[in-house]
Amino acid sequence: MPAWPIRGNSSRRTKKPSVSTTKSLFGAVILFTCVAGCDRVPVSPDSSSKTSGLQPTSKVTQTTISIAAASDLKFAFGEIASEFKKLHPEIQVETTFGSSGNFFAQLSNKAPFDIFFSADIGYPRKLIEQGDGLEETLFSYAVGHLGIWVRNDSTLDLDKNGIDVLSDPAVKKIAIANPRFAPYGRAAEAALKYFEIYESIQDRLVLGENIAQTAQFVESGAADVGMIAASLATVSPLRDKGRFWQLPTSSYPTLVQGGVILSWAKDREACDQLRLFVTSEAGQAILQKYGFAEPEMP
């Protein structure tokens, strides 16, 4: 910032300033200039000895990581991203939700995501085998649970009849996620076969593209009952709109959920920070709040 010029009155004759006066004026100008502008001068760390103790300015580099996440994380991940942002304000998280199988197909074709959170750890393992995932970044973050959900206006008695409500003649449509793409759909199919009712109700099944769409089918009335994730059924808004009965975990394969950082991730360090947060005590507390169980690595 330039010093303001000191102007005299040209119409009045002035006395020539003495040497000491000139030095004082010059010093005042320099002092004013430094006070007004020194905090804007970038200083490198190795020049601190020349700047009378001024500290170097720090810049936070902003980065964005793109997440492909299983749709059962729809509610939990909102809070995870919010808490993560408090710790790492420099990292922006953009999340897309969908079925794990569809994401696997997209990632096998190099879809532009940085990290994959799957409802089945098998998909991240396959990506690693294909060279699309970084083996050292494989992680398990939760175990999912499956159950039956009906709207509050349904006459079905879940607490009394459990799985048998699916055989009720009044039930015309039963929503499950598509077993071809969704781990929860495969779990639902396995449970129906475990209880030996699959054949009798197969023609009443309606398939959602993912577990979130399956829940929407029941919530909207397009289906009478649905087999959905506890992580969706036990939190608002579904918790307030319906009733949920959790299936015995012995009736379907354990839903071990896991993830991996993709080999083409733009910012590996930022992805690692998110991975570490989700598997930390703070991240696990959030996931368990939303109906997930502690992770395990098969």
* 223-252 per-position pLDDT tens digit: 999 999 999 999 988 999 999 999 999 999
Instruction: Check residue 78 and give its pLDDT.
Output: 93
Instruction: Check residue 286 and give its pLDDT.
Output: 97
Query: Is the pLDDT at 197 greater than 60, yes or no?
Result: yes
Q: Which of 110, 142, 144, 140 lies closest to 127, judged by CA?
A: 110
This prediction has a pTM of: 0.78
Instruction: Check residue 60 and give its pLDDT.
Output: 60
Q: Which fold has domain 145-251?
A: D-Maltodextrin-Binding Protein; domain 2 (3.40.190)
Residues of each domain in the chain carrying CATH 3.40.190.10: 63-143+254-289, 145-251
Query: Is the pLDDT at 207 greater than 90, yes or no?
Result: yes
Q: Which residue type occupies 196? A: E
> What is 63-143+254-289's CATH number?
3.40.190.10
Distance of alpha carbon 164 from the chain centroid? 36
**CA dihedral angle for residue 39, residue 45, residue 49, residue 54, rounded to 10 degrees:** 20
Query: Is the pLDDT at 57 greater than 50, yes or no?
Result: no
Instruction: Check residue 52 and give its pLDDT.
Output: 34
* Sign of the alpha-carbon torsion through 29, 34, 37, 43: positive
When pLDDT is cut at 50, 70 and 90, the band that residue 22 belongs to is very low
